[in-house]
């Protein structure tokens, strides 16, 4: 957010041309570094080489070093001021949304006299802006009107020549100046550390432009409702583990700065236990970007494209972090290497590299793999630093069966005479999964429509709203649905147990 400037008269805004002219006029008057002898603690800077002591160069007041930097910077440049560059970077990340353009270059001015950190940049209209990179307010004063204002933490403010900034530890406020007392062009390298991202910027712009164009023809699917942990039954211990390991680090990253947060997980267990369902609920609870795919979906018949697909997927997830990447049937790409599948080995190697880089970068991104065949996974994928935390997703106990039944039947028109307890015990004795229970409930609904002649009325076009209002699923419908399910499990039909993914 840009807080309104202290002095908002239009004359304070200078165009690029006027800005440069005003600097040139002042610099023409003072070019002899000998003048610094009279003003900067009698230290002779004339002829000081770049390798000489930084402490000597820092005798130049901060306001003059800043003025010299403002002569050099352009839109896209960022000036950071403070004691340590690493700390300045971390603080700047908290306020990065205040900058509307790609950062091309960063200039760091070390400053040990004052407590606190500052950021400065020039916007596209060549206006100077300050960012308060501190957890406390900064006092800003207009030297002409003696008006005082306060800049809140991590906010931005337009500043003009002669404005004053009161910094903790400073005897006098720092003045924003049009130019330093003398020409410091030859000394910038002594008091400023510069990092140029121009080449990287060009590459990133090309990548973003390609991505934007690709969106022109990409179809998006709207999700009608968001699944949450309330929609997951029979997995209370698993949910507790996921909250502690993923949800809380995603929602409260500051609380985990001193932790080595695990970024890779494997959910393993029988088919139909709701691994995808649980991962999607986790992403919604964390309000995180969720990428769900099947391991085989990323494969390509063209050698090399699979690796690129994975790189693009991780890159996009990082851009939209916090993110959760969920890989169903991870064994499709993560099975033990060796044999004749050279292409598959290359794909796995690429995935291993991406996950390892994630652990090092500390991006707010988690990878969850799901499998029914944990033993087939390559040991390099399951070791520390990769998908190292392994959580079993078990079949529900009797209370879990009840929870799942209630979730999937809450919108169903159940007859009040159904013996729900006996039905749940029967489903538990059959060792049903979440998807099995869902299948039985839906099958009972279909069987009930047959019994009540609903399908016939649909066929004849005689169905009415009264038919829907009066319809109930009966005990006999569930009995037939369970009987059909048992036949399915025993192989009399091609559909296997757990064929429906929750």
Decide: residue 300, CB within 10 A, 0-12 exposed, 13-18 middle, 19+ buried.
Answer: middle
Strand, helix or coil for residue 84 = coil
The confidence score (pLDDT) of residue 114 equals: 82
Instruction: Please state whether the peptide bond connecting residue 322 to the residue before it is cis, i.e. omega within 30 degrees of 0.
Output: yes
Contact 57, 190 (CB under 8 A): yes
Question: At 50, which helix (H) or strand (E)?
Answer: none
pTM of the model: 0.52
Residue 316 CA, chain-centre distance (Å), reads 10
Strand, helix or coil for residue 474 = coil
The confidence score (pLDDT) of residue 76 equals: 86
The confidence score (pLDDT) of residue 24 equals: 40
The confidence score (pLDDT) of residue 215 equals: 53
**How does pLDDT run across 337-381, given as a tens digit for each residue?**
665 454 557 788 888 888 888 877 778 889 999 998 888 888 888
The confidence score (pLDDT) of residue 4 equals: 52
Strand, helix or coil for residue 159 = strand
Q: Where do we find the tokens 């590299």?
A: 353
The confidence score (pLDDT) of residue 416 equals: 93
The confidence score (pLDDT) of residue 40 equals: 42
What does pLDDT average to in each consecutive run of 10 residues of the chain (502 residues)? 44 36 38 38 42 62 89 89 90 84 88 87 85 90 78 88 85 86 78 83 73 51 65 90 90 84 90 88 88 71 65 86 88 72 70 84 87 89 88 92 93 94 94 92 95 93 92 95 89 43 34
Q: Where do we find the tokens 């990253």?
A: 253
């Amino acid at each position: 957010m840009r807080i309104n400037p202290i002095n908002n008269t239009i004359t304070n805004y200078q165009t690029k041309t006027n800005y440069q002219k005003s600097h040139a006029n002042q610099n023409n008057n003072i070019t002899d570094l000998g003048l610094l002898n009279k003003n900067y603690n009698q230290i002779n800077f004339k002829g000081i080489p770049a390798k000489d002591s930084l402490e000597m160069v820092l005798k130049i007041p901060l306001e003059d070093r800043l003025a010299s930097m403002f002569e050099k910077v352009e839109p896209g440049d960022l000036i950071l001021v403070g004691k340590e560059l690493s700390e300045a970077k971390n603080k700047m990340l908290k306020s990065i949304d205040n900058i509307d353009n790609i950062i091309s270059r960063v200039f760091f001015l070390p400053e040990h006299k004052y407590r606190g950190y500052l950021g400065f940049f020039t916007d596209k209209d060549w206006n100077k802006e300050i960012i308060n990179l501190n957890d406390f307010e900064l006092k800003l004063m207009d030297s002409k009107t003696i008006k005082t204002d306060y800049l809140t933490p991590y906010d931005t403010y337009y500043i003009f020549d002669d404005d004053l900034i009161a910094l903790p530890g400073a005897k006098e406020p720092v003045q924003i100046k049009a130019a330093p007392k003398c020409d410091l062009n030859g000394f910038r390298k002594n008091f400023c550390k510069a990092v140029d991202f121009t080449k990287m910027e060009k590459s990133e712009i090309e990548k973003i432009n390609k991505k934007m164009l690709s969106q022109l023809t990409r179809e998006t699917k709207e999700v009608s409702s968001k699944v949450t942990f309330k929609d997951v039954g029979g997995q209370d211990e698993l949910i507790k583990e996921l909250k502690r390991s993923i949800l809380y680090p995603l929602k409260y990253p500051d609380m985990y700065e001193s932790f080595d947060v695990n970024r890779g997980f494997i959910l393993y267990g029988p088919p139909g236990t709701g691994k995808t369902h649980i991962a999607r609920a986790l992403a919604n609870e964390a309000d995180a970007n969720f990428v769900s795919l099947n391991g085989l979906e990323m494969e390509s018949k063209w050698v090399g494209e699979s690796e690129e697909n994975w790189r693009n997927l991780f890159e996009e997830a990082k851009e939209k972090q916090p993110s959760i990447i969920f890989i169903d049937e991870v064994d499709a790409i993560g099975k033990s290497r060796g044999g004749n599948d050279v292409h598959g080995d290359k794909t796995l190697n690429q995935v291993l590299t991406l996950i390892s880089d994630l652990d090092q970068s500390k991006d707010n991104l988690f990878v969850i793999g799901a499998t029914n065949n944990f033993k087939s996974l390559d040991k390099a994928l399951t070791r520390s630093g990769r998908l190292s935390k392994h959580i079993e997703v078990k079949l529900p106990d009797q209370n879990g069966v009840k929870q799942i039944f209630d979730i999937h039947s809450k919108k169903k028109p159940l007859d009040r005479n159904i013996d729900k307890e006996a039905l749940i015990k029967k489903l538990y004795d059959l060792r049903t999964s979440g998807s099995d229970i869902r299948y039985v409930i839906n099958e009972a609904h279909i069987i009930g429509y047959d019994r009540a002649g609903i399908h016939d009325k649909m066929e004849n076009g005689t169905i009415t709203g009264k038919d829907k209002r009066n319809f109930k699923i009966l005990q006999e419908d569930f009995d037939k649905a369970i009987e059909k399910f048992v036949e399915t499990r025993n192989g009399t039909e091609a559909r296997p147990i757990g064929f429906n993914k929750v």
